[in-house]
Amino acid sequence: MMRIIMLALTNLAVMAVLFITLNIISAVFGINLGGGSMGGILIMALVFGFGGSFISLFMSKWMAKRSMGVEIIDTPRTSEERWLVETVRKQAEKVGIGMPEVGIFHSPDPNAFATGASRNNSLVAVSSGLLQHMSADEVEAVLGHEIGHVANGDMVTQTLLQGVLNTFVIIFARLIGLAVDNFFRSSDDESGGVGMGYFIGSIIAEIFLGFVATAIVMWFSRYREFKADIAGAELAGRPKMINALKRLQQAHAVNDLPGEMAAFGIAGGLGTGLRKIFMTHPPLEDRIAALENAR
């Protein structure tokens, strides 16, 4: 749950930085994007809403390498690394995408993720624990799952979805702020502009709506996991994909990947109650059942 809270707060923090930056630009160049102007609110919402999302998208590979300590395989040194790169190459060619960068990050837990700004500029990374505890067939299926994320354009789609939701969050938060400000303002106040009620109301509304937006993004993340499982089954074979998911079931207390990497990992954490709303992945038993019942 704390990881989801940090993800939501990070998204809000990016928008806050853009808000401060835009206000500095407004003060220097005299551009009026006042809180009471609907045109100003719309421009601000579009800039903040999509700005933060696309900044995160274009920095995703760099952030993944830094935060996860991913070691890119430029020149394979072992037979295992050669097999890993060659398997990714074959799968990428099969689905018609550019060759992703391939890397390994050190973690005892079996996991993997894909990220990148586009289908032809991506990264696929697996944990050392995945290579140690899974068979070659199971690793092949996991790689197919991650290649499926890339081929389906999940990173870009999530960015667009997050941008749209951010935009609506900003617009409705400002409208709520204006309503609160008007409610508490005395009828004889003709000073113009907005008061403290606008800023307090906007901040509280933005935090609440930000968590609602995060829940929607997490729902989409869970939905696309089923699609990526299908891709893994098509690339490696359905029995291999099912066995890989069953192997993940046996890995008790698998740790979540940090931040935005979690949404593109092969395995996610467990959730009960309200936590289910903020899960990046469906329960493994649901994913296994979906593949077993697929025709």
pLDDT-derived band at 3, boundaries 50, 70, 90 = very low
If you average pLDDT over residues 57-71, what whole number do you get? 86
pLDDT-derived band at 272, boundaries 50, 70, 90 = low
User: What token pair was written down for 267?
Assistant: 């395995």
pLDDT-derived band at 286, boundaries 50, 70, 90 = very high
Q: What is the pTM of this model?
A: 0.76
pLDDT over 60 at 23, yes or no: no
pLDDT at position 101, please? Answer: 96
Give catalytic status of residue 206 as yes or no. Answer: no
DSSP structural state of residue 188: T
Domain definitions of the chain by residue range: 1-295
CA 142 to chain centre: 19
Length of the chain: 295
pLDDT-derived band at 5, boundaries 50, 70, 90 = very low
Compute φ and ψ for 123, nearest 5 degrees.
Answer: -135, 135
What does the alpha-carbon distance between residue 125 and residue 111 come to, in Å, rounded to a whole number?
9
Residue 247 contacts residue 134 (beta carbons within 8 Å): yes
pLDDT at position 253, please? Answer: 45
Q: Indicate which residue of 138, 140, 146, 260 is catalytic.
A: 146
pLDDT per position as a tens digit, 88-127: 999 999 999 999 999 999 999 899 999 988 899 999 999 9
More confident residue, 155 or 35: 155
